[in-house]
Every structure is written in C-alpha cells, then in structure tokens.
C-alpha cells in the first residue's frame, strides 16, 4: 500500500502542498485534479523523490521517506509517465523499452499487450503521439515499478485518441497490479477511468472518494463546480426532502446543512419545456453540443440554472420556458454562503 501521511511541501516560505493524506491499495488508480498551480505536479515530484518534503511521510513496502530521511528515486521503484513521452529519439522502440532492463522478456510482454510489437525496430520519430505514449508506458511497466505516477499522459493527444488510450492505460495498469496516481486536467477523464478521484484546491485535498460520490455529493461548492456544470438552487431542506420553486426532490445534507439551503443541480437533473402556460424562466443563452444543447436559463426568482436537453429541443435566447426538476436521486444540499 502506498501511504502518504500529513505531507507538506514548501517552496521557500510558500506552502504549496498542505497536509496531504492518501492511502492507495495495491492496484488502485487515483485521479488527481485541480486548477492550474494547485500543486499536482509538486505532489508527483515529492512522491517520486525529486524534491524534498517539508513535513509528513511517504511510505511503500520497505521504504519510508520523511524530511529527515530522503529516499532517492531509484530506491522508491517509481515509474513515471509524462505528457511529452520522454523517449530517446535515437533509439528504437525496443531499445527504449529495454533501456537498463535486466529481464527483457517483460519488454516483449508489454509491447505486445499495448499493441506495439510490430514497431519494435521503429524510432520514436516514426510513431504517432498515441503510439509514443504506449511505448513510454511499456517502458515504465517493463521495469516492474512499485507504483506509477502519470503527469497528464494524454494532454498532447487529440480527443478521439484520448478516449480509447485512456482505457488502454487503465487496463495496462490493472494488469500490472500497481498503485497509480494520474494527474489530469480533464474532468471527464478523471470521473471515468479512476477508481477514486482527489480534488486539490490550493494545495489542500478538498475531497478524495469514488467518482460517483465526488460528482453527486461533493464535499464543497468548489468540488461541485470543478467536476462539472453546477447550479445552486435555493431550497428548504426538511427530513431529507428539499422543496424548491421548481419542484421537490430528495436532499442529502453536506456538512449537516438544514433549513434554508442551496441544492446542487446538474444540467441533466432538469427538464425545459417551451410554449408552456406555466413558464417560470427566460432563456439567457444556448450552446449547441451535437447530441444535446446546453442552456442557461434565469428563473423568475432570479437564480440562473444550466440545463441540458436533446438537440431537437431548440429554444432562442429571450424565450419563455418552463424549467422543472425531474431527477429522483438525492441532490446535495449546501448551507447558504455567508
Ligand atoms: N521550483 C519551484 N519553485 C518555486 N515555486 C514553484 C516551483 N515549482 C512550482 N512552484 C509553484 O508551486 C505551485 C504549484 O505548482 P505545480 O506545478 O505543482 O501546480 P500544478 O497543479 O501542477 O499546475 P498545472 O496544472 O499548471 O501543471 C505554483 O504556484 C507554482 O508557481
């Protein structure tokens, strides 16, 4: 188990990672997300042993690193995967994967598993971005790392490739059976391929939990907004029931919120009907998304909500419409902001 306890990292007088606690099971994948500059790369560098830590401990198997006891990267058996692939351009695929490797049979195993065996003799310059990343992953896993750190491995690839490669990477990590921390900017990637998601806010982990829990019951408004479109609708929460101007739904209190609250509403928790006698809102703007349309709609009570509907349902800005809560699952209820 990879265990990070009360980890703090300072750059000079500035604390960049504050009291981080993570425990990862032997084959668990944690997706680490957060806004730019919140400390994601710093965490990976600290775990890899590339920078000193200021407080706390990192441990895995037989080693334990603290501010007093630096464990060098090679003793941690860490595998790293970067967005720019970091392959040697003058070496073939096979030589890249076998670089400093004692048992080269593992290289063949991972090249085959990642569909790259026919490119053994190619140089990185002859490969596409996705192929390069497969080689980089094969190289990392062939070295039998004790844990793997991935720093935005898909950010240099186009959208269509990202979608398939993320599942290949997940499959390979699961096959290797190692804990992994995967930094991404992509909230869809974070929610789909990880076993758990950690959301970092200015160096502090706001929440670490399953994707479903983080999305449906965020620990804070920051997490709610970071993981997707979020609208906050005034409601009165009583006995697990949230009453709003546009319908009643089950409510789950966050941090003991009760009475006058704001419930978190996602765009697919709502329906929007035009030409209704019971119109209660006005369309502000529309974003065409192909399969669907996203609307911003202001209710007559002044609250702006985002709602996603079928692409067939075209409304114009300024048009009156009826917005209704249609979900039956419980919505997270937050105390009113001061
Ligand atoms: N070597 C350094 N010396 C001083 N400050 C640094 C150093 N490296 C990073 N920082 C600062 O530490 C903070 C965290 O940086 P970090 O690169 O970990 O963020 P990040 O979440 O990975 O950002 P991004 O998503 O943009 O890659 C930032 O404010 C950054 O400016």
- Tens digits of residue pLDDT in 203-256: 999 999 999 999 999 999 999 999 999 999 999 999 999 999 999 999 999 999
Does the Cβ of 198 fall within 6 Å of ligand 1? no
pLDDT at 276 over 90: no
The burial of 108, by beta-carbon neighbours within 10 Å (0-12 exposed, 13-18 middle, 19 or more buried), is given as middle
pLDDT at 74: 87
How far does the centroid of ligand 1 lie from the alpha carbon of residue 133, in Å?
A: 24
The pLDDT of residue 338 is above 90: no
Tokens of 219: 């620990």
Distance CA 123, CA 3 (A): 38
10 lines ligand 1 (CB under 6 A): no
Give the mean model confidence (pLDDT) for residues 300-305: 96
Judged by DSSP in three states, 75 sits in helix
Residue 33 pLDDT grade (very low, low, confident, very high; cuts 50, 70, 90): very high
Q: How far does the centroid of ligand 1 lie from the alpha carbon of residue 36, in Å?
A: 8
| CB of residue 33 inside a 6 A radius of ligand 1 | no
**Which residues have C-beta within 8 Å of that of residue 105, sequence separation ≥ 6?**
none
Instruction: Tell me if 210 sits within 8 A of 23, measured CB to CB.
Output: no
pTM over 0.90: yes
- Percent of the chain at pLDDT > 90 equals 81
Of 273, 270, 284, 279, the residue nearest 312 (C-alpha): 273
Q: Whose CA is nearest to atom 18 of ligand 1?
A: 39
* Cβ of 52 less than 6 Å from ligand 1: no
All domains of the chain in start order, with CATH: 2-77+145-221 (3.40.50.300), 230-335 (2.40.50.140)
Q: What is the pLDDT of residues 137-148, one digit of tens each?
A: 999 999 999 999
- With 0-12 CB in 10 A as exposed, 13-18 as middle and 19+ as buried, what is 326? middle
- State the pLDDT at residue 106: 87
Average pLDDT over the chain, rounded to an integer:
94
- On the question of pLDDT at 182 being above 90, the answer is yes
Q: How far is the CA of 145 from the centre of ligand 1 (A)?
A: 26
Q: Indicate if ligand 1 lies below 6 Å from the C-beta of 179.
A: no
Task: ipTM value, please give it.
Answer: 0.97
Residues 332, 261: Cα–Cα separation, whole Å: 10
3-state SS record for 300-338:
CCCCEEEEEEECCCCCCCCCEEEEEECCCCCEEEEECCC
Q: Which pair of structure tokens corresponds to residue 166?
A: 């993320």
Residue nearest to atom 7 of ligand 1 (CA): 11
How many Å apart are CA 26 and CA 276, to the nearest integer?
55
Residue 57 has pLDDT above 90, yes or no: yes
Query: Cβ contacts of residue 204 below 8 Å, gap of 6+?
Result: 18, 19, 20
């Amino acid at each position: 188990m990879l265990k990070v306890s009360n980890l703090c990292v300072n750059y000079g007088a500035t604390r960049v990672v504050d009291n981080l606690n993570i425990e990862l099971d032997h084959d668990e994948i944690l997706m680490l997300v957060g806004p730019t500059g919140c400390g994601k790369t710093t965490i990976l560098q600290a775990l890899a042993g590339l920078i000193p830590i200021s407080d706390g401990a990192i441990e895995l198997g037989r080693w334990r690193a603290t501010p007093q006891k630096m464990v060098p990267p090679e003793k941690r058996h860490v595998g790293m995967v970067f967005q720019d692939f970091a392959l040697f351009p003058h070496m073939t695929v096979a030589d890249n994967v076998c670089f400093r490797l004692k048992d080269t049979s593992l290289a063949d195993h991972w090249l085959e598993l990642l569909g790259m065996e026919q490119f053994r003799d190619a140089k990185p310059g002859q490969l596409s971005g996705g192929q390069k990343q497969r080689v980089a992953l094969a190289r990392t896993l062939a070295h039998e790392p004790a844990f793997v750190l991935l720093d935005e491995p898909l950010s240099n690839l186009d959208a269509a490739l990202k979608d398939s490669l993320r599942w290949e990477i997940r499959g390979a990590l699961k096959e290797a059976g190692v804990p992994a921390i995967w930094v991404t900017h992509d909230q869809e990637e974070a929610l789909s391929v990880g076993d758990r998601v950690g959301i970092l806010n200015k160096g502090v982990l706001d929440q670490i939990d399953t994707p479903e829990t983080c999305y449906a019951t965020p620990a804070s408004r920051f997490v709610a907004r970071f993981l997707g479109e979020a609208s906050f609708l005034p409601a009165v929460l009583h006995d697990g029931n949230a009453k709003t101007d546009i319908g009643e739904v089950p409510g789950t209190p966050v941090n003991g919120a009760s009475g006058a609250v704001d419930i978190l509403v996602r765009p697919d928790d709502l329906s929007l009907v035009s030409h209704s006698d019971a119109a209660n809102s006005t369309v502000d703007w529309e974003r065409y998304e192909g399969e669907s349309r996203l609307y911003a709609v202001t209710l007559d009570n002044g609250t702006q909500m985002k709602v996603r509907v079928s692409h067939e349902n075209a409304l114009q800005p300024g048009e009156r419409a009826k917005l209704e809560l249609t979900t039956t699952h419980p919505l997270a209820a937050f105390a009113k902001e001061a």
